[in-house]
Amino acid sequence: MATLGDQAVLQAIFNPNNPFGNNLGLEAEVELTDDDSKFDPVLVQQAKDLELQGISQAESGNVDAAVEIFSQAIAIIPERASGYNNRAQTLRLKGDTTGAMSDLNKAVELSKGRGWTASLALVQRGLLYRLYGQDQEALQDFRQAADLGNGFAKSQVTLMNPYAALCNRMLAKMVANLRNPEPPV
């Protein structure tokens, strides 16, 4: 991904529920890239080029072609987390949540829970856990992504906190009573 602007557009497309802004939902202390230095730079560039092609195919509605292209990127560097994360997003678009979960697990494993891809994969996996009704697992993933600086994950941790929900309801009731006080008896 050439520029921060390109990253912002791709972020908005592949992760539409994440907050959109200059920091792409990540706090400043989080590095916006993954550490690809352990891989051959020529292979990394080939994989990134394929991922961009896959994103383009997904944007065009060619989801099957996108999955195939992401699979090619994975075949070039099977130890690189980004391809799995991107393919998972596309599998979600196809409705294949089982395949998406498998790829997200692999992305988290390969990233060792650190960096840009880990943050995105943890959020996406957390959302799938919520879909499956596995709220404890979802909360764990959101907390880990929040620790990486993901703003969306931080909001999910807050929303899933039962004490915060109770406080929000109590506060809303107090504000409503202040705005529309009950007449004295």
Q: Where are the domains of the chain?
A: 4-179
In angstroms, the CA 159 to CA 168 distance is: 10
Please state the length of the chain.
185
DSSP designation for 26: B
Nearest to 70 by CA among 25, 34, 106: 106
Pick the CATH number of 4-179 from 1.25.40.10, 3.30.110.40, 1.10.10.10, 3.30.70.360: 1.25.40.10
Q: Is the whole-model pTM more than 0.75?
A: no
Residue spans of alpha helices (H) in 81-183: 81-94, 97-111, 115-132, 135-147, 151-160, 162-179
pLDDT in tens, 100-152: 999 999 999 999 999 999 999 999 999 999 999 999 999 999 999 999 999 99
The predicted-structure confidence for 31-78, as pLDDT tens digits, reads as follows 446 788 899 999 999 999 999 999 999 999 999 999 999 999 999 999
The phi, psi pair for 100, rounded to 5°, reads: -65, -45
